[in-house]
């Protein structure tokens, strides 16, 4: 990501189209509060797909100052949970797969609640 003053714009990188120049309001800047990692996303005007990439704080703040929307997010709380049960085994996955193959699984679960 690179901020450009003349003309005003943000140069971003689409994985398929490489460097693309956009208006600042077309690039959403994001920061993960837990890791302080900066990134951005945009809809690429060339391939019309959503693209995302990491960036550094400096260019991110310049894009925000120029009008880019800003989002913050946190890592899922589940990452910090402690689990005391036994680790998941291959057998557990096979058992889950067999359970999911039951045609009346939802009804069976409703009766157990
Ligand atoms: Zn593209």
Residue 53 lies in a domain: yes
Q: In the predicted model, is pLDDT for residue 38 greater than 90?
A: yes
Residue 110 lies in a domain: no
Residue 111 lies in a domain: no
Whole-model pTM: value is: 0.68
Q: Which among 42, 50, 47 is positioned nearest to 23, based on CA atoms? A: 42
Question: Quick one: pLDDT band at residue 87, thresholds 50, 70, 90?
Answer: confident
| pLDDT at residue number 6 | 66
**In angstroms, what is the span from residue 52 Cα to ligand 1's centroid?**
10
Structural domains of the chain, count: 1
**In angstroms, what is the span from residue 30 Cα to ligand 1's centroid?**
19
**In angstroms, what is the span from residue 77 Cα to ligand 1's centroid?**
33
Lowest mean pLDDT segment, chosen from 38-42, 54-58, 81-85: 81-85
What CATH number is given to the structural domain containing 53?
3.40.1170
Parent domain of 58: 1-76
Run of H or E including 14: strand 9-14
Question: Quick one: pLDDT band at residue 7, thresholds 50, 70, 90?
Answer: low
Residues 71 and 109: their CA atoms lie apart, in Å, by 38
């Amino acid at each position: 990501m690179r901020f450009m003053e003349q003309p005003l714009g943000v140069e971003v990188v689409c994985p398929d189209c490489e460097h693309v120049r956009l208006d600042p309001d077309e690039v959403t800047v994001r920061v993960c509060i837990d890791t302080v990692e900066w990134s951005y996303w945009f809809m690429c005007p060339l391939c019309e797909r959503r693209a995302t990439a990491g960036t550094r704080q400096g260019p991110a703040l310049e894009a925000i100052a120029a009008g880019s929307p800003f989002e913050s997010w946190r890592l899922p709380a589940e990452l910090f949970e402690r689990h005391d049960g036994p680790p998941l085994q291959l057998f557990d996955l096979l058992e889950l797969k067999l359970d999911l193959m039951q045609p009346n699984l939802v009804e069976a679960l409703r009766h157990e609640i």
